[in-house]
Amino acid sequence: MMLLALSNNKSNNQIYNVGHETPYSAQDIFNMLADLFRLYHNKELILNINAESLLRVIDRPHLVSDTRKVRFELQWQPQFTLQDFLEEWAKGAYVTTRDI
């Protein structure tokens, strides 16, 4: 995406949302990470807070990216899902070099 933006004169000083247009809550992402840590590192992640009680009136329970602009202007499309990204991260050296 960065190379597309740098090579396109119309994208100068533009802001683009990138994502997969799939809504996720913080709880969804935590659950994905917990599953991956269990699978790849035999570690249990436990969330000790009630995430629902931390939502403010202005907070949205799910966030989703709107990628219409970047798809139209740069013909960009996502190459992997959030699950794919988190799995690669969980398998990588960052996680394996730290005590969690």
pLDDT tens digit sequence for 29-79: 889 999 998 988 888 888 776 666 777 777 777 778 888 999 898 998 888
Amino acid at 23: P
Q: What mean pLDDT comes out for the span 71-92? A: 88
| Those residues with Cβ within 8 angstroms of residue 56's Cβ, 6 or more apart along the chain or in another chain | none
Q: 63 pairs with which residues across the strands?
A: 24
- Give the pTM: 0.66
Compute the distance between CA of residue 8 and CA of residue 5 in angstroms, rounded to an integer.
5
What does the block give as tokens for 24? 């996720």
What are the backbone dihedrals phi and psi of residue 63, each rounded to the nearest 5 degrees, phi first? -115, 140
